[in-house]
Amino acid sequence: MSQESAAIWAAVITSIAALLAGGFAFAAALRQVTKTALTQREQAWWQLRRNTFADFLNKLRDLRNAYAPHAEALISGTFDGSKAAAWASALDAYHKTYSVLDLEAPESLLDADAVRDTWRTVQMVETVVQIWEEAVLNGQTLPTPLGTNPQEEFERLLSYMTRDADQTRRAFRAELHKELDF
């Protein structure tokens, strides 16, 4: 083989080696870009869920805080329009936030006992308050759907709301801090 053909073969082999090295480098860079994009997407989802979870817990707290004075007024036989309006506003905000949670949270979280119990408790509180409002507005004695006296029902429902909010907070925290696979 002549020096010229050897030089040509050396150039061809060097070019092929350079192309292979460039291809490997490109594939590695592409994998890294994909991993970075997935990480950024997961971070965005995490932040969205965190904000939704926090908003839901805040609305639940606001609902509990509006329930107490409104229910106490109803138990005393008084319909206080401002307390009723605060309750209605907090209830509306809770339902709107629950709708967002329903769209953004994973199905497994929505099916968790803590979240389902919270939803059921709010439905129960909403029903009792509605019954009590109608009774007070009609000048009737407060019925006790849970089978106790109104003060005990108020305290029981308030304790359920507090318990369920804490359990839901723990479920949200576990969801946010579980390991992600890439």
Query: In a 3-state reduction of DSSP, which class is residue 145?
Result: coil
The percentage of residues in the chain with a pLDDT greater than 90, rounded to a whole number, is 51
Task: Domain of residue 164: give its range.
Answer: 51-176
At residue 101, the pLDDT reads 93
Residue 26 lies in a domain: no
- Residue ranges for the chain with pLDDT beneath 50: none
The Cα-based distances of 3 to 9, 16, 40, 89 in angstroms read 10, 20, 54, 90
What span, in angstroms and rounded, lies between the C-alpha atoms of 158 and 69?
Answer: 11
Residue 21 lies in a domain: no
What span, in angstroms and rounded, lies between the C-alpha atoms of 129 and 149?
Answer: 14
Given a contact cutoff of 8 angstroms between Cβ atoms, the answer to whether 70 and 129 are in contact is: yes
pTM above the 0.85 mark?
no
Q: Which residue do the tokens 């953004």 mark?
A: 104
What span, in angstroms and rounded, lies between the C-alpha atoms of 46 and 66?
Answer: 30
**Type of residue numbered 82:** S
Handedness of CA 109, 54, 57, 81 (dihedral sign): negative
Distance of CA 18 to the CA centre of its chain: 51
Residue 19 lies in a domain: no
At residue 17, the pLDDT reads 81
Residue 7 lies in a domain: no
Q: How many domains does the chain have?
A: 1
**Tens digit of each residue's pLDDT (9 = 90 or more) over 31-49:** 887 787 787 888 888 899 9
At residue 181, the pLDDT reads 58
The CATH number for 118's domain is 1.20.1440
Residue 76 lies in a domain: yes
